[in-house]
């Protein structure tokens, strides 16, 4: 990309959080590259990916989205991962009830590590797997309301709401900092 395309008014660090296997890496790859990987191993090793968003008022935001390299499996996410984050995508898998039950724990970890006011989008991923659903959409909505989070169900596989989840989060961060 040329230097001109790299120009931006704001840089927002966003972190991906949630249990292993919920689809964090694939949400990132879908949003930044329009790719999907069946084999999750192929996505290991990415530190962050960026995407430039043009807002309605002409401002340009560069979103720097951080992905874990599987450390969440060992509860070994470091403080550096969270440092300076403006927002988070807090992800569970609608086909794994336990991944929703762990959300309060992830939320606590986020709030412990991030000082500044942060915008959090709760995401119920894999909504394409209707026949395997263990979490109703109302359960996700209710938790989001109780905790003051944005909420969407997504599918990294068929692209449902992936763009919306990231851009709603970015718009809300921008709205709050004005």
- Residues of the shown chain interacting with ligand GDP in the complex, contacts defined by CB under 6 A: 20-26, 37-38, 40, 43, 125-126, 128-129, 155-157
Residue 23 CB, shortest distance to Mg ion, in Å, is 8
Nearer to Mg ion, 53 or 91 (CB): 91
Residue 48 CB, shortest distance to ligand GDP, in Å, is 13
Contact of residue 38 among Mg ion, ligand GDP, none (CB under 5-8 Å per partner type): ligand GDP
CA distances from 170 to 15, 17, 130 (A): 12, 16, 28
Nearer to ligand GDP, 12 or 31 (CB): 31
Handedness of CA 163, 164, 170, 174 (dihedral sign): positive
Nearer to ligand GDP, 25 or 61 (CB): 25
Contact of residue 83 among Mg ion, ligand GDP, none (CB under 5-8 Å per partner type): none
Max CA distance (Å), the chain: 47
CA distances from 66 to 22, 32, 73, 81, 139 (A): 15, 12, 16, 7, 27
Yes or no: say if 83 and 9 are a contact pair by the CB < 8 Å rule: no
Strand bridging mode 60-66 / 10-17: parallel
Torsion (CA) 26, 106, 137, 123 in degrees, nearest 10: -30
d(CA 136, CA 29): 26
Contact of residue 20 among Mg ion, ligand GDP, none (CB under 5-8 Å per partner type): ligand GDP
Task: Answer yes or no whether residue 125 interacts with Mg ion by CB under 5 A.
Answer: no
The H-assigned helical ranges of 7-67 are 24-33
Task: Answer yes or no whether residue 25 interacts with Mg ion by CB under 5 A.
Answer: yes
Residue 16 CB, shortest distance to Mg ion, in Å, is 8
Instruction: Name the residue with the smallest CB distance to Mg ion.
Output: 25
Contact of residue 143 among ligand GDP, Mg ion, none (CB under 5-8 Å per partner type): none
Q: What is the size of the binding site for Mg ion (CB under 5 A)? A: 2
* Interacting residues toward Mg ion by CB under 5 A: 24-25
């Amino acid at each position: 990309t040329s230097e001109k395309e790299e120009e931006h008014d704001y840089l927002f660090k966003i972190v991906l959080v949630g249990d292993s296997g919920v689809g964090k890496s694939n949400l990132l790859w879908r949003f930044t590259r329009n790719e999907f990987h069946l084999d999750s191993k192929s996505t290991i090793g990415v530190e962050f990916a960026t995407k430039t968003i043009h807002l309605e008022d002409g401002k340009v935001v560069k979103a720097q989205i951080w992905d874990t390299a599987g450390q969440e499996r060992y509860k070994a996410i470091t403080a550096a991962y969270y440092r300076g984050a403006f927002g988070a995508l807090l992800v569970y898998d609608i086909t794994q009830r336990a991944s929703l039950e762990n959300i309060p724990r992830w939320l606590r970890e986020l709030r412990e590590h991030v000082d500044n006011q942060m915008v959090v989008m709760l995401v119920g991923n894999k909504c394409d797997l209707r026949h395997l659903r263990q979490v109703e959409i109302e359960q996700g909505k209710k938790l989001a309301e109780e905790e003051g989070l944005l909420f969407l169900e997504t599918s990294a596989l068929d692209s449902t709401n992936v763009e919306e989840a990231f851009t709603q989060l970015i718009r809300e961060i921008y709205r709050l900092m004005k």
